[in-house]
Amino acid sequence: MDAQRGPGRQQEPRGRTNRRRFLLIAGIPLLAVGAGTAYVVWPGPARPGPQVRTDLEPLNARFGPYVGTLGEAHWLGYDIDEKPGSAESRTIPSPDSRIRLVGVARLAAGGAAAITGRAEYAFAPAAAPAELPAELAPYAPAGAAWQHSGQFDAYANHKGAEGHPSGEYLFDTARDLVRFDLLYLYT
Domain spans of the chain, in order of start: 2-41, 57-186
**Cβ atoms of 80 and 171 closer than 8 Å:** no
| Largest separation between any pair of C-alpha atoms in the chain | 112
Instruction: Please tell me which of 7-11, 20-24, 87-91, 157-161 the model is most confident about, judged by mean pLDDT.
Output: 20-24
Mean pLDDT lowest among 80-94, 135-149, 158-172: 80-94
For residues 14-25, give the mean pLDDT.
Answer: 72
Distance, CA of 2 to CA of 17 (rounded, Å): 18
92-148 pLDDT per residue, tens? 555 567 888 899 999 999 999 999 999 999 999 998 788 899 999 999 898 899 999
% of the chain at pLDDT higher than 70: 74
Distance, CA of 99 to CA of 79 (rounded, Å): 4
* CA-based R_g, the chain, Å: 32
For residue 147, the cross-strand partners are: 125, 171
Q: Which of 138, 101, 122 is nearest to 171 (CA)?
A: 122
